[in-house]
Structure 1
């Protein structure tokens, strides 16, 4: 039986903006994937760096259409797709918008500023934030020392706040963030390898730089309903129902990394990183 979110967990997500599921993937599954990821030359060659306000680099490799590599078998697994299906506000099929391998290295991995994912995806012109969601799978331990994710519980109910640029990143209006911090609970999301964080696209979140001597790696997959068009996005995944695989596919498959033919993100083509004019009016510091 696939481990699918319960109705109680779905309700918690709707109220809090997130849900943490311990041991969503086994140690054996994560060990296999992480070993491939750390030696994956294609992933390294297609990584992009986004500078934070201090100039530290946050490194990620992002791709749109899932294939048959080991990462995609996790993304397409029944437990992921069926759980996401329960969270999205639509009866339409689940699609894959993108996944990204987050590589926050010891001592040098930069911060992510306060933001909502829909602060980015609004520029892709997705119509319905409730038909998008993200799932973070911890590949290494995530804690305060190595810059784990921080969230503001319940902030998804604020709706989308304005976003501007902070370094090369997109950051939320700090006037509204400060109001949220004064009103709602600020949490550190400390995870063990294999733990999953499902979170709403309007949940405010950030992370500190990694000042520890331990890496913090994670895989974040973003899903969309077929009924939710993006009018300013040329990628293909979000408009195609995902091809689900059995939960044991990852362990049965060969340890195959990314293909050089995958449709990786190029910074110059990302709508979210392009200036539109109104960003200058947003306070991000």
Structure 2
């Protein structure tokens, strides 16, 4: 599914989009799982507040289970592009469902994922996220924004913005104009793959439409994680089959 052009774009821009990677039936099943409130989404946590005090809901987990989310996370159509973009075998890190609800979902401040994950002990930024749009992601409902090519900056210092962790505002003010801001409007089922050092944010949802998403995060299998007990290497991500989601 990935072309040489996709790989070139990812190296240059820090992200690439694969439209309609998940079918509408698969998206429908995932939304039904959210609305039933079962499994990992049964106790939605209130996400950290943004600078204005608003928040979004999220559910997060760090292991693979017998559920629809894990079936998606080990699907070949996800894992194989991850491996290709990383340039090596991948390990599952975590998954999360994010609920930016109509008229209430808060913003996510500018940050790099590795700004968080560095603090969790990962030695290298050879890490990647796969962002799945479950509802249409639009400018009006707070779609993801990225600074194209900003992953080449390396890791920036991060600190508290509201109760979120955000990129150093002084450095952000200095560099923001050097990169093109892209609004990642996505159809349901489309997937945005992006580098862990890519600066990204999203605005609050002031629209009448939900903006729900599912994000799968991976690290290169060779990327050591420093822990209190020593150095850890995560196991390689198993690979399932592309039809598994429809069995849930």
The equivalent of 1:30 in structure 2 is 27
* Deviation (angstroms), 1:205: 0.5
Q: Residue 187 of structure 1: SS of its match in structure 2?
A: strand
1:233 and 1:195 map into 2 onto residues whose CA distance is 38
Task: Show the 5 A alignment for 1:200-215.
Answer: 200-215=195-210
| Residues 232 and 59 (structure 1), Cα distance of their counterparts in 2 relative to 1, 3 Å cut | farther
The equivalent of 1:283 in structure 2 is none
The equivalent of 1:110 in structure 2 is 106
Q: Residue 120 of structure 2: SS of its match in structure 1?
A: coil
The equivalent of 2:236 in structure 1 is 241
Task: Show the 5 A alignment for 1:1-285.
Answer: 4-42=1-39, 43-89=41-87, 91=88, 93-129=89-125, 131-232=126-227, 239-251=234-246, 253=247, 255=248
1:150 and 1:25 map into 2 onto residues whose CA distance is 21
Q: How many residues align?
A: 245
Verify the 8 A CA contact 1:117 1:202 in the aligned structure 2: yes
The equivalent of 1:262 in structure 2 is none
Answer 1 or 2: which has greater strand percent: 2
Q: Which runs of 5+ in 2 are unaligned?
A: none
Q: Which runs of 5+ in 1 are unaligned?
A: 256-285
* Deviation (angstroms), 1:248: 1.3
Q: Residue 226 of structure 2: SS of its match in structure 1?
A: coil
The equivalent of 1:280 in structure 2 is none
Verify the 8 A CA contact 2:102 2:208 in the aligned structure 1: yes
TM-score scaled to structure 1, two decimals? 0.82
* Deviation (angstroms), 1:46: 4.4
Residue-by-residue CA offset, 1:131-170 (whole Å, 9 max, x unaligned): 2100000000111111111110000001111100011110
TM-align CA RMSD: 1.7
1:238 and 1:58 map into 2 onto residues whose CA distance is 32
TM-score scaled to structure 2, two decimals? 0.94
